[in-house]
């Protein structure tokens, strides 16, 4: 038989028992639909994480303190802080790959101003910080080098701080107090949203690091240095260069380990996306159990169909049909049933993902590859679970089949 003729015969056979066919396909429909929803949520989560990582900055690397050890036991990352402003200045001065470098001095305090008070972190940074984080101001300006050198008490506030202290008005030109130290607001940062960990990036105040150090922090060591490169491909070279410069700055011998840690946002993205991918695979594997149940249902119904159509099979063989023709016919019926169920499950999966995203606000995404895999897997289920009934039909004795009542 030609392929189209086989499909036509399979469709006619399926249409004779519509309700039974629908119930048979139900497992496939639910399985494919559930897998599509789970994969859509997982793909959406990975996309959202990628977007949040990109919001951290452009080709950014982060330098943090390393660890110390006591009695041969590591005290953990950040336990031995030897990062200083001199390190940041040395990186900015001697690095050929890094295009921007900024120290980050962080302190917390009660912010008073406008229509109330608000607790937010205050970051002391350089003018390069806006470039590194790719952070633009929506109102006013970012502080410049003269503000840093003069240790002016100026600040740029995040969108959350601006909305909390100065709702429905432009805070530029207003004054706030941080631990009784007055700061003039000269700019408002554009909204960036939450990080992958759920922290609000807009709940922040940026000020010249010289001002924060002398007026608020007073610490000799700094918790973080950030930098960026012109191209993403330059990040590995920048990390190696930064490591060499800091080792020289700290006077480390070739036999001593780094007392700092250099990371880039690609590593952060890969770690976060790896977690999301594992969860997606886990959820998809759980949902795939429905496909297994659906496949067993198809096999059972096809076995019943073989029994009901024994006489028909005998007539076909009596007029010249070979066993391979009968096997192909029943196998095509199983595949058509699975593919139709997969297509219906695909539609339900699309709708379910959109509905779930609308209700929960989660990001969902379905790739063309996922659609192709879903249909292909449905056909594979039809072949796998339909082969035994088809083989049983092909092995019938024509004479015994014609006598079957």
Band of residue 3 on the pLDDT scale cut at 50, 70, 90: low
pLDDT in tens, 306-349: 776 667 667 777 766 676 777 777 777 777 777 888 788 888 88
Res 75: pLDDT:
46
Crossing angle of the two packed helices 235-249 and 85-94, in degrees rounded to 10? 130
Decide if pLDDT at 71 tops 60: no
The C-alpha torsion from 229 through 231 and 232 to 235, rounded to 10°, is -40
Query: Residues with Cβ < 8 Å from 274, sequence gap 6 or more?
Result: none
pLDDT over 80 (residue 396) = no
241 touches 98 (CB < 8 A): yes
d(CA 61, CA 82): 18
Helical spans, DSSP H, in 135-234: 145-149, 159-165, 209-212
**pLDDT given for residue 122 in this prediction:** 93
- Distance between CA atoms of 395 and 330, rounded to whole angstroms? 12
State the pLDDT at residue 401. Answer: 54
Tokens of 181: 């130290």
Judge whether residue 254 has pLDDT over 80: yes
Residues 6+ apart with CB under 8 A from 138: 159, 188, 189, 190
3-state secondary structure 239-263: HHHHHHHHHHHCCCCCCCCCCEEEE
Check residue 139 and give its pLDDT.
Answer: 92
- Is residue 69 very low, low, confident or very high in pLDDT (cuts 50, 70, 90)? very low
Over residues 369-383, the mean pLDDT reads: 73
Nearest to 176 by CA among 159, 144, 154, 146: 154
Angle between helices 18-56 and 3-16 (to 10 degrees): 110
Determine the Cα–Cα distance for residues 353 and 351; give it in Å rounded to an integer. Answer: 5
Token couple for 143: 């502080």
């Amino acid at each position: 038989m030609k392929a189209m003729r086989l499909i036509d015969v399979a469709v006619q056979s399926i249409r004779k028992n519509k309700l039974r066919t629908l119930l048979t396909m139900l497992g496939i429909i639910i399985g494919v639909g559930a897998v599509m929803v789970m994969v859509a949520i997982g793909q959406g989560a990975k996309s959202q994480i990628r977007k949040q990582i990109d919001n951290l900055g452009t080709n950014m690397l982060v330098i943090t303190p390393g660890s110390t050890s006591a009695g041969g036991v590591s005290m953990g990352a950040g336990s031995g802080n030897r990062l200083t402003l001199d390190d940041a200045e040395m990186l900015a001065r001697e690095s050929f790959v890094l295009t921007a470098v900024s120290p980050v001095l962080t302190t917390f305090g009660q912010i008073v101003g406008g229509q109330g008070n608000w607790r937010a972190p205050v970051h002391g940074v350089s003018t390069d910080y806006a470039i590194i984080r790719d952070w633009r101001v929506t109102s006013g300006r970012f502080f410049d080098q003269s503000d840093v050198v003069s240790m002016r008490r100026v600040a740029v506030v995040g969108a959350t701080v601006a909305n909390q202290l100065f709702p429905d008005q432009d805070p530029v030109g207003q004054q706030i107090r941080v631990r009784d130290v007055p700061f003039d607001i000269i700019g408002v940062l554009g909204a960036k949203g939450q990080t992958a960990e759920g922290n609000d990036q807009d709940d922040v105040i940026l000020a010249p690091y010289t001002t924060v150090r002398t007026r608020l922090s007073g610490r000799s060591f700094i918790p973080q240095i950030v930098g960026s490169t012109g191209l993403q491909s330059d990040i590995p070279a920048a990390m190696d260069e930064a490591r060499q410069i800091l080792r020289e700055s700290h006077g480390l011998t070739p036999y001593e380990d780094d007392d700092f840690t250099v990371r880039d946002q690609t590593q952060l993205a890969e770690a976060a996306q790896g977690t999301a991918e594992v969860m997606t695979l886990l959820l998809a594997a759980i949902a795939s159990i429905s496909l297994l149940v659906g496949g067993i249902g198809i096999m059972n119904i096809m076995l019943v169909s073989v029994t009901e159509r024994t006489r028909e099979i005998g007539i076909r063989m009596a007029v010249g049909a070979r066993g391979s023709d009968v096997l192909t016919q029943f196998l095509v019926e199983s595949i058509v049933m699975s593919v139709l169920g997969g297509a219906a499950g695909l539609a339900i999966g699309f709708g379910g993902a959109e509905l779930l995203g609308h209700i929960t606000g989660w990001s969902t995404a379905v790739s063309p590859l996922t659609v192709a895999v879903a249909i292909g897997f449905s056909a594979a289920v039809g072949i796998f679970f339909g082969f035994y009934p088809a083989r049983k039909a092909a092995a019938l004795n024509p004479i015994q089949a014609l006598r079957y009542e």
